[in-house]
Amino acid sequence: MPELPEVEATRRSFVDQIVGAHIVSVRMGKPLRWPLGCSVESLVGRRVLGVRRRGKYLLLDLDQGLLLVHLGMSGSLGFFKAHPHPHPGAHDHCDVHTTQGVLRLHDPRRFGAVVYAAGEAAPAAQKLLGKLGPEPLEAGFDLARFHATLCQRRVPIKQVLLAGDAVVGVGNIYASEALFRAGIRPTVKASNLSRRRAEVLYQAVREVLTQAVEKGGSTLRNFSNANGEVGHFQMQANVYARAGQPCRVCGTLIRLIRQGQRSTFFCPHCQKS
């Protein structure tokens, strides 16, 4: 958390408010996961041309270079248009003041980051983006390539989905939900999936993430988008965080197991193999 749907919901919530703005000043608070990579003074005067997403990263395209923003495990972005802007709190670690408002990174655990790069091909950007897999909601997410990658992995399919190279951005919540929708047990080795079952999973990943984006993501603890709005996908989750509750499809109790130090939820009946 936040995962791809939450990051995309955040992007959509402030992109129209910040595009065209000029940076007036930048305030950096306590150190984040990675350093900014430039002086705050060098960003003054630069214009925001757009906001994109790559996996769980937000890319603020400037007229010179770009800012890569990661929300870490508990971070969120807020965009404040009112004057005066709210005074930064103890966990507000980056303020980008623009002519159209303030973009603020709030991150209690400081696993997030704001990094400047001269361009997407620059080493600072490639270090973060270079090994990411295809975007699940774009045309580059190819079924044949997806199945070929699965065939090479003799580890549980849930772990492959989380790794981010077969497909990017499928975090813990949505991996569990996609596997349920595909009827695949999370412990099955990825290499054992036939092309037909890989296609079912491919479609399930796309459907679950599309639905989650439409619902504004999931708010399990404190996630909200840049306008302070919470997500609602968690209210219709089939398995995630429902251990011990009856399956919405068959009534079997949902089970919880641990995989790679992550919680995995599944239905023993609907996901037999």
Task: Parse the chain into domains and list their residue ranges.
Answer: 4-129, 143-266
Give mean pLDDT, residues 105-129: 95
Radius of gyration of the chain (CA): 20
CA distance 55 to 49: 20
Give mean pLDDT, residues 58-67: 98
Q: Options 3.40.190.10, 3.90.1310.10, 1.20.1050.10, 1.10.8.50; which CATH number does 143-266 get? A: 1.10.8.50
- The question of whether 120 is a catalytic residue gets the answer no
Give mean pLDDT, residues 12-29: 96
Chain-wide mean pLDDT for the chain? 94
- Domains 4-129 and 143-266 fall in the same CATH topology: no
- The question of whether 12 is a catalytic residue gets the answer no
SS (H, E, C) the chain: CCCHHHHHHHHHHHHHHHCCCEEEEEEECCCCCCCCCCCHHHHCCCEEEEEEEECCEEEEEECCCEEEEECCCCCEEEEECCCCCCCCCCCEEEEEEECCEEEEEECCCCCCEEEEECCCCCHHHHHHHCCCCCCCCCCCCCHHHHHHHHHCCCCEHHHHHHHCCCCCCCCHHHHHHHHHHHCCCCCCEHHHCCHHHHHHHHHHHHHHHHHHHHCCCCCCCCCCCCCCCCCCHHHHCCCCCCCCCECCCCCCECEEEEECCEEEEECCCCCCC
Confidence at residue 10, expressed as pLDDT on a 0 to 100 scale: 95
pLDDT > 90 in the chain, percent = 82
Residue closest to 197 by CA, chosen among 139, 151, 159, 136: 151
What is the CATH code of the structural domain delimited by 4-129? Answer: 3.20.190.10
- The question of whether 214 is a catalytic residue gets the answer no
The answer to whether 66 touches 46, Cβ cutoff 8 Å, is: no
Among 145, 248, 255, 262, which one carries the catalytic annotation?
262
Kindly report, residue by residue over 146-200, the tens digit of the pLDDT: 999 999 999 999 999 999 999 999 999 999 999 999 999 999 999 999 999 999 9
Among 53, 56, 181, 197, which one carries the catalytic annotation?
56
Among 3, 6, 8, 177, which one carries the catalytic annotation?
3
- The question of whether 199 is a catalytic residue gets the answer no
